[in-house]
Structure 1
Amino acid sequence: MEAANVFQTQEERLMVDAKAQVLRIGIPLESTWAENRVSLTPEGVHLLVAQGHEVVLEATAGLAARYSDREYSEAGAEVTTDRRLVFGCPVLAKVEAPSELEWPLMVQGQVLFSTIQPGTLSKSFLDALKAKRITAFNYGSILDEEGRAPFVRSMAEIGGSQAITIAMEYLSTWSGGKGYAMGAVTGVPPTEVVILGAGTVGTTAARLAIALGASVKVFDSSLTRLQRLREQVGDLYTCTLQPQILARALSRCDVVIGALRPVNGRTPVVVTQEMVAGMKPRSVVVDLSIDHGGCLETSEVTSWDAPVYTKFDVTHFAVPNIASRVARTASFALNNLTSPMLRDLADLGGVEEALRLKPHWRSGVYLYHGQLTSSALAQALDQPYTELDLLL
């Protein structure tokens, strides 16, 4: 005899407005070498405190960005020297990912905002955050409503402008360079600049170099990006990455800006040692792609203590995290993302509701209550992961 079907009354689920939350946000002093940015400026703190939230700042956290403890205090932040108090906040807003010494200070169920470099993260880092059921956002992967990455774009714009500024510095006589100005001097041939990459960094660098009067050539593997750059910047020389043409351009130029995007975590090397050896003496290379390995075969990571070296009589600048060179500007740009996001997180009733109502945020989450949700990290570290949509 077949069992009879049994039907049970199901509860009706109604859409109700989530209750806004009051956040307690910790801003630690960055411990990573040469990281001068801070995740919230005093203006951002004032915005959040005015809406009833609490901000706990570790003393001198904003000092490298030229923000004093007094400015934060007057904006409403609680300033403390107690790291445990800062790391004990339910929401932690950093710039770089927490270091190994900071993992034990983090608390169960915390929401973390920071940048991460997938190629440099360790399994022990993920295990530490998983054990504390952390929900973690990567600034670099957070998208806006139009599908753009605002943090990446802002830092790229800063990088592009700084690349030209640095090139000008090392072209100068005082820095042992050729003694060239960038251009725009009547009757004097303009400086020739080659830019590798037509993304936001390359576009910003090209726009500034042209405005200064330089002669600019841009190379990229994507014809679409080159076309978009011409639409934004105007008529200039562009070419796909063809080795013979690139080698000729490099042999004639005074400045090379490396601004190629990484592919699978590593920037493709498109300039060989032979190409660099064929460049004019005292030419300048600024390789902003060094964060992901560099796009010149001769590129080596340098530091602010010794930012340049010479190879084949060509000056190379390859300091990572170039945005920290102008930490106040970079911090303000980061604050433009962090403070509205924290405000919305609270207004929408917490991280679960916010992710449900703002699907474009989901790409920025790599841990959700301790579960790995990033396929890129899972592949890099050989870890299992779960799609975030299945957990919401």
Structure 2
Amino acid sequence: MQRFTAPYSSLPEETRGRVHPEGGADFRSAFARDRDRIIHSQAFRRLKHKTQVFVYHEGDHYRTRLTHTIEVAQVARSISRALGLDEDLTEALALAHDLGHTPFGHAGERELDKLMKPHGGFDHNAQSLRILTKLERRYAQFDGLNLTWETLEGLVKHNGPLVNAEGDPVGRYREHGLPEAILEYAADHDLDLASHASAEAQVAAIADDIAYNAHDIDDGLRAGLFGLIDLGDVPLAGEALSQVLRLYPDLEHDRIVHETVRRVMSAMVNDIIAECNNSNAKLNLRSVAEVRQLGRPFVVFSKQMDRQNRALQSFLNDRMYRHERVEQIMARARRVMHDLFTAYMHDPRLLPADWQGGQARQVCDFIAGMTDRYALDQHKRLFDLDPLFR
């Protein structure tokens, strides 16, 4: 079946290029090469043993950062295809979006940010940029992966502009300013921080929300943090559950869960596609530049779906992320991060030889790159205590 290309799609032949020009183009587009480099990176492989919500040893069927990332890429690719966008760029952005996350999920990130406050703080989005432009050292001609401008721009700005027209930080960066990693890179390779990102980047960002909410329903039920009956009054999830029970009254529990989750995801995906098509029927966007200069996100939920999504997020926040069991695990995770950072800052000789130097950012990079398993192993090695996780 012949696919159409939307007029506002990013086009690999019109890429703004790479910092280090490369020859020897092959059968892949520039964006496909970006995607492949991300998949083959060390940082991508480490996602296998990084926490999504549950630490790795709690069970084999809970999501990790890697399985979450793969699910995000699948959702993003499906939306991108339906909208006529560049699937390779969309997939590259989806696959790279969590590379900068620390071990132990958001608890690890918050603790590392707290520890790094005197040294510029920690931001997982900026850390992803550091990984892709500096910390991956595999190629003979350059540090990083030398990705295209469009991939790096989409990674940094997938949640919207970072500064306003006057150059002042906005959103999450309004209070403390932009992370140094983003400022340094943008000074040499302008990422147009005041505009929105491409439609492909916006698809990757909203696919993250879809995958996160849907699979956390699955993991929360699997962990017993809430039950199916608790979903009854939750918008979207309750409707999906009622539909499944009506169609399959004798279905066993695990299949009920799967059928409910897939209906939640399908409803969100279909809503986005319809909303984008309806919106563009009025806007008549003719280029990716018009998407960037629109002044608001283009890839969004309808107002009704947005309300339902917020209600679902609120439910998961109350019943899952703030659950006593999860908070106990994350408190132990913060202890591990604090102990490791303090030890390495006090005695840099505890670090591997190629990481020694005594600078806080080096220590931060080393810890941020750890998997849960490696962090726990290093904590045990350095402190010779009973494991904090049992």
TM-score, with length taken from structure 1: 0.24
* Structure with greater contact order relative to length (CA < 8 Å, sep ≥ 6): 2
When you count helix as a share of all residues, which structure comes out higher?
A: 2
When you count strand as a share of all residues, which structure comes out higher?
A: 1
Computing the radius of gyration over CA atoms, which structure comes out larger, 1 or 2?
Answer: 1
